[in-house]
């Protein structure tokens, strides 16, 4: 199975300041079709996850442009250009290149 | 409105069975891949199963193989997760989620159904 490792576990951020989350996979996420199936999701307490980004950098419909994804191969990053109060919660990376699909352990973003 | 609504959760004894349902609306369910993902209390997300649009192929995480089955009723816009031989470690909120074609991700999530396995 592909192991997804996220850092940091927790990220206290001042409102308006940037935040960055790293996700590393135990093997390349490049599919045989050439696509890289790495997604980012956001979950607020008591809520289901919400898709933010798919295929490394494609923002899902309605996701603010302060969220951006980058990376390739085994190393990926989610950046929030200026954290807003509604951005608190846990962020997960997820790989869907290979079964079983696997998630990172999550990064908690909170306001300082 | 695009929506997924799970039902069927509850308390069950170890070794027991439970069937979750997920009703879809607002999108082309017939041609959609579907997933089940679970989250144990206070823990992260774990993918459980994936089913092709026509139900011809199903994938499971190893820990549920042989115990869980998935079925897709395209006429009724519903997805089902049959869980047998339940264990304490199956205790979780179970989410159904739509697979986004072309992006191979889960874009629409239900609110979840809580399953508690305990004596």
- Helix ranges restricted to H, chain A: none
**Average pLDDT estimate for B21-25:** 98
- HSE-up of residue A22 (Cα within 13 Å, Cβ side): 6
**Average pLDDT estimate for B44-65:** 97
pLDDT surpassing 90 at residue B49: yes
Residues 32-71 of chain A whose Cβ lies under 8 A from any Cβ of chain B: 35, 37, 39, 41, 43, 48-51, 54-55, 58, 60
**Average pLDDT estimate for B43-63:** 97
Please give the share of chain B, as a percent, with pLDDT higher than 90: 97
3-state helix/strand/coil string of A58-83: EECCCCCCCEEEEEECCEEEEEECCC
**Mutation site, A40, A62, A100, interface B, largest B CB count within 10 A:** A100
Picking from A9-18, B5-14, B86-95, B98-107, which range would have the lowest pLDDT averaged per residue? B98-107
pLDDT of residue B60: 98
Cβ of A54 within 8 Å of Cβ of B95? The answer is no
Q: Tell me the two tokens of residue B30.
A: 């017939």
pLDDT surpassing 90 at residue B86: yes
Cβ of B104 within 8 Å of Cβ of A106? The answer is no
Q: Is the dihedral of CA A33, B109, B21, B28 positive or negative?
A: negative
- Cα separation, B16 vs B3, in Å, equals 29
CB proximity A91 to B under 8 Å: no
CB proximity A102 to B under 8 Å: yes
Residues 46-65 of chain B whose Cβ lies under 8 A from any Cβ of chain A: 46-47, 50, 59-62
CB proximity B2 to A under 8 Å: no
pLDDT surpassing 90 at residue B106: yes
- Cα separation, A53 vs A17, in Å, equals 20
- Cα separation, B85 vs B15, in Å, equals 4
pLDDT surpassing 90 at residue B41: yes
Q: Tell me the two tokens of residue B93.
A: 């909120």
DSSP-assigned beta bridge partners for residue B4: B24
Please give the share of chain B, as a percent, with pLDDT higher than 70: 100
**Average pLDDT estimate for B14-42:** 98
Cβ neighbours of B48 (radius 10 Å): 25
pLDDT of residue B103: 87
pLDDT mean by block of 10 residues, chain A; 112 residues: 97 97 98 97 97 98 97 98 97 97 98 95
Q: Do the Cβ atoms of B47 and B111 come closer than 8 Å?
A: no
Mean pLDDT of chain B: 97
pLDDT of residue A62: 96
**Average pLDDT estimate for B57-84:** 98
Contacts of A55 in chain B (CB under 8 A): 103-105
């Amino acid at each position: 199975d592909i192991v997804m490792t996220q850092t940091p576990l927790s990220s206290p951020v001042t409102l308006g300041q940037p935040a960055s989350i790293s996700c590393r996979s135990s093997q390349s996420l490049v599919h045989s079709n050439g696509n890289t199936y790495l997604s980012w999701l956001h979950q607020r307490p008591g809520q289901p996850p919400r898709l933010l980004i798919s295929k490394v950098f494609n923002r899902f419909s309605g996701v603010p442009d302060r969220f951006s994804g980058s990376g390739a191969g085994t190393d990926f990053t989610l950046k929030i250009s200026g954290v807003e109060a509604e951005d608190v919660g846990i962020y997960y990376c997820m790989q869907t290149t290979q079964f079983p699909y696997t998630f990172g352990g999550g990064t908690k973003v909170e306001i300082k | 409105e695009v929506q997924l609504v799970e039902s069927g959760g509850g308390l069950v004894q170890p070794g027991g069975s439970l069937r979750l349902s997920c009703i879809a609306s607002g999108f082309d369910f017939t041609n959609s891949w579907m997933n089940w993902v679970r989250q144990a209390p206070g823990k992260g997300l774990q993918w459980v199963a994936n089913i092709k649009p026509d139900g011809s192929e199903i994938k499971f995480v190893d820990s549920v193989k042989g115990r869980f089955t998935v079925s897709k009723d395209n006429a009724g816009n519903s997805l089902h997760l049959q869980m047998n031989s339940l264990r304490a470690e199956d205790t979780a909120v179970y989410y159904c989620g739509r697979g986004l074609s072309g992006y191979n991700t889960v874009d629409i999530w239900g609110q979840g159904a809580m399953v508690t396995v305990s004596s």
